[in-house]
Homo-oligomer: A and B are copies of this chain.
Amino acid sequence: MAINFTPGPSQLYFTVEDHARKAFRDGVPSLSHRSSAFEKISKQATDGLKELLELPQGYHILFTGSATEIWERSVQNLVAESSLHFVNGSFSKRYHEIASQLGKQAHKIEVAAGEGFDSYSASANPELIALTHNETSTGVSLPLDFIHSFRDQHPNALVVVDAVSSLPYPKFDYTKIDSVFFSVQKSFGLPAGLGVWIVNERCIAKADQLQQQGVNIGTYHNLPTLIANAKKNQTPETPNVLGIYLLGQVVSDFLKRGVHTIRKETEYKAAILYQALQQHAIAKPFVQDKKIQSQTVIVAQTGAATETIASQLAQHGLQAGDGYGDKKKSQLRFANFPTHSKETYELLVDLLEKIK
């Protein structure tokens, strides 16, 4: 079977199939979510993630159905009136739209797809600042110092980071971030159907305050209900138990490998692919500015050669991801996740270099 470079759902992490087999053998999928066996599974996943991401005290890990759900729940629970969104692609745009759909004053600072943001000086007074660390549609990453710069300018705002297709790669300074989220089918290489939402005490206080003011913060998945259950290592509803189990197992595999090693390998693989694209006769990196080139989703401008390149790679068992939306026929995207080995990336680069 081909190695899948689509940026999500992507290639499964190579241990997942064995973990799933063990899960079925051990009866994990038919465990009650109110049993101590489930609580143990949930705790393994959340404790492991806290260690992997080096989260400080006071950060809580919550499970939802998807990261898309977290776009909605974060606005619903953390915004009474206004949010500010940095929009530079399809996914940051959708987050902004969701805030508008929920009836909030959703302000945005927008640049063209493929671009980053210049220096920003505070003007309005938003309650939530929404930053998409890694635009999966274009391969632009926001520099960490940009993300970390909002705390000082907006000490009262909650800084929320969509890190869907980047974590665990970025080494965030969590003292400058109130909430971060991802979905498991990207870098964690797991079957889709689970979102992971991390919040600090400031988020919880804000949701409590909105609830007291009579703002509609939702029901079973509002922040107070999620937190009350998470403190018992439970969830409000019957969750994707198998997904949470598999997450715990893969996080444990990542910890054995070491997050430092994962980061170094990610950078090595990104470097060789960007270099090959930079020197290529036909393809080139879509994002030119090195400061904002994503390390985890690398987008190639392939123009009229898109189909040729994709099919030549496919002949060697490598399935490139299509360009996103209207770039479907002029770009290719390459996920660079922990499951994509250095050897696979070296093969990808060799093959690309042969296409002239």
Contacts and interface: CB of A to CB of B under 8 A. Distances in A.
Interface in A13-38: 16-17, 20-21, 24, 27, 29-33
Contact of A192 (B6, B68, B221, B239): B239
A8 interface: yes
Given A1-B27, A216-B216, A32 B17 contact: no
Interface residues of A, number: 52
Nearest to A103: B216
Given A32-B6, A192-B239, A65 B68 contact: no
Interface string A64-78: 111111011000000
A194 interface: yes
Nearest to A94: B220
Contact of A69 (B1, B9, B216, B237): B237
Question: How would you classify the secondary structure of chain A's contact residues: helix, strand, loop or mixed?
Answer: loop
Contact of A24 (B6, B17, B66): B17
A68 B69 CA distance: 14
A83 interface: no
A303 interface: no
Interface string A162-192: 0000000000000000000001010000111
Contacts of A330: none
Interface stretch (A114-122, A240-248, A282-290): A240-248
A241 B65 contact: no
A46 interface: no
A237 B29 CA distance: 23
A231 B238 CA distance: 27
A220 B101 CA distance: 9
Nearest to A29: B191
Contact of A241 (B21, B30, B98, B193): B193
A193 B194 contact: yes
Contacts of A98: 219-220
* Max chain B Cβ within 10 angstroms of own Cβ: one of A16, A98, A218, A237: A237
10 contacts: A9-B238, A29-B191, A33-B192, A64-B65, A69-B221, A71-B220, A72-B218, A193-B240, A194-B240, A240-B243
